[in-house]
Amino acid sequence: MKLILVLGDQLSDGLSALREADKASDVVVMAEVGAEASYVPHHPKKIAFVLAAMRKFACHLLEQGWRVAYTRLDDPENAGSIPAELLRRAEEFGAQEVIATQPGEWRLISALEDLPLPVHQFADDRFLASQAEFATWAEGRKQLRMEYFYRDMRRKTGLLMEGDDPAGGRWNFDAENRKPAPGQIAYAGPLKFTPDVVVEEVLTLVSDRFAGHFGDLRPFWFATDREQALAHLDHWIAGGLPLFGDFQDAMLRDEQFLYHAVIGLYLNAGLLGPLEVCRAAENAWRAGDAPLNAVEGFIRQIIGWREYVRGIYFHEGPDYVTRNTLGHTRDLPAVFWGAPTRMACVGAVVDQTRTEAYAHHIQRLMVTGNFALLAGIDPKQVHEWFLAVYADAYEWVEAPNVIGMSQFADGGIVASKPYVSSGNYIARMSDHCGSCHYKVKDKTGAGACPFNLLYWYFLDRHRDRFRANPRMGQIYANWDRMNEGKKALILAEASNWLARMEAGEAV
């Protein structure tokens, strides 16, 4: 007989490891282990979501006729890690072999390879592009740009295609998806679920074990099984999708979700599949219930960006998370863990992250990510923070978004230019600046927006790297036209501001 490993982000009936198993003889192993909950200090909401979803999926497998050996976190015999649990169960059942679906982190892949048992890791074919397919696509290309990969995925799946042509005559409607924040939101937000007995038991456990982790455990409203996740998807398709495209980049202080789908945690745990959510959105467009710009923008995030970053993660190898092309070494400041700040936008995103274990892509990229890049924070520390605090974060999806897209630490594999901006972008796309201690229109002086100061400070210190970038030439031309006295003042004030931050002052 064999042990069939099912991890907490592999909660799918069609899992390759389950397809390779024999219900009559094999044992499914699932384990809640301290090592997975604490290799970074995961948000309590994320821990509770994964544990509750695991318990419900284990019950589902039992109902399907599987034999399941399930270890709870508070089990006295819990061995503490996935490899140790497999060895314990192998001895218990006399198993000589382990079948697994390849994990989404090099860390776990390596741990399984090092087991003193034969472990067969099968491809995770819940994704639309295999690692081999991505490698074939990437071979010989000077630049691995997502847009071209996305077009191939559209052709492969047939999503939003009219014969050989894209629906509407264009591959990408992103130009229509950049409207600033609206006056009000006509959508109630994600579907919220009252914790049942299983969830309440998990919440009590997590509260006892992980009270020291950053993040609020309650109120807890996530879906924790496939039926709930599907109900949430239907809810969003009907109410959020129609205006998702228009306002997907907008930010409002008192609206944490706007029109966003908030399904990343369900997709990445395996409760939903990428093709089914894309087809649901496409069906809404074909039925006239959602506009093409919204549906295309959503589908691009799933079969374009999500599949692409997974391809990058495995294509680039285990050292990807350690890359630091720009040589940034400053420690992550305390504001990321909730320390007081005068920056309204950063404070709002961190506070939302603490309460919801969620922030949408522009909040992550253009507020906290932008700030970390401008301030020269060590990208590995930024990576570990993002991995810790978001309920949808697993290394395969998070690392390319942070190391590549957000921090440009991979030297431009993912992004063609660093995603940095002054305060003007945040002012245009949000309502944060109106209530901020700093003045977004001030470029220098005690009240100057830190994003304005740090923007030019970043560009100046990395001039040799970026001045030849065709997308940044005009920016450097603007810098060069400033008089030398103004440039010196900006750089001095930026340096002083960073020194105060490093000294622990509330900035």
Q: Hey, is 8 helix, strand or coil?
A: coil
CA separation (Å) from 364 to 122, 249, 266, 386, 484? 33, 11, 19, 9, 34
Which residue's entry shows tokens 């600046």? Answer: 433
Over residues 327-334, the mean pLDDT reads 98
Give CA angle at 353 (367, 436), nearest 5°.
Answer: 45
> What fold characterizes domain 3-122?
Rossmann fold (3.40.50)
Average confidence (pLDDT) over 372-392: 98
* Positive or negative: CA dihedral 491, 493, 496, 501: negative
Q: Percentage of the chain surpassing pLDDT 70?
A: 100
Confidence (pTM) = 0.97
Q: What is the predicted pLDDT for the residue at 377? A: 98
Q: What is the CA radius of gyration of the chain?
A: 23
pLDDT digits 0-9 by tens, 104-121: 999 999 999 999 999 999
Position 409 confidence tier, pLDDT thresholds 50, 70, 90: very high
Q: Which CATH superfamily is domain 334-502 in?
A: DNA Cyclobutane Dipyrimidine Photolyase, subunit A, domain 3 (1.10.579.10)
Residues of the chain with CATH 1.25.40.80: 131-192+199-207+224-315
- Taking the C-alpha atoms of residue 31 and residue 85, their distance in angstroms, rounded to an integer, is 7
Give per-residue pLDDT as tens, 51-79: 999 999 999 999 999 999 999 999 999 99
Q: What is the mean pLDDT of residues 316-329?
A: 98
Q: Which of 176-190, 294-308, 348-362, 373-387 is least confident?
A: 176-190
Three-class SS state of 72: coil
Predicted local confidence at residue 385, as pLDDT: 98
Q: What pLDDT, on the 0 to 100 scale, is given for residue 237? A: 98
CA 84, CA 432: separation in Å to the nearest integer?
Answer: 48
- Tell me the pLDDT band of 183, cut-offs 50, 70 and 90: confident
Neighbouring CB atoms inside 10 A of 464's CB total 7
Average pLDDT over residues 344-361: 98
Bond prior to 83 in cis (omega within 30° of 0): no
SS (H, E, C) 103-169: CCCHHHHHHHHCCCCCEEEECCCCCCCCHHHHHHHHCCCCCCCHHHHHHHHHHHHCCCEECCEEHHH
Task: Tell me the pLDDT tens digit for each residue of 198-254.
Answer: 999 999 999 999 999 999 999 999 999 999 999 999 999 999 999 999 999 999 999
Distance from CA of residue 393 to its chain's centroid?
5
Q: What is the pLDDT of residues 125-134, one digit of tens each?
A: 999 999 999 9
The residue behind tokens 């939302």 is 352
Per cent of the chain over pLDDT 90 is 99
DSSP 156-221: HH-TTEETTEEGGG-S--GGGS-PPPPSS--S--S------HHHHHHHHHHHHH-TTSSS---S--
Rounded to 5°, angle at Cα 241 from 238 and 242? 90
Domain with CATH 1.10.579.10 in the chain: 334-502
Q: Return the pLDDT at 181.
A: 86
- 131-192+199-207+224-315: what fold? 1.25.40
Give me the DSSP letters along 250-267. Answer: -BBTTBSSTT----HHHH
pLDDT of residue 36: 97
Q: Is the pLDDT of residue 341 over 90?
A: yes
- Residue at token pair 């990343």: 264
By CB atoms closer than 10 A (0-12, 13-18, 19+), residue 143 is exposed
Pairing assessment for the beta strands 165-166 and 161-162 based on DSSP bridges: antiparallel
Q: Give the phi and the psi of residue 11 in degrees, each rounded to 5.
A: -90, 65
For CA atoms 449, 451, 456, 461, the dihedral sign is positive
Residues 6 or more apart whose Cβ sits within 8 Å of residue 372: 332, 336, 379, 382, 406, 407
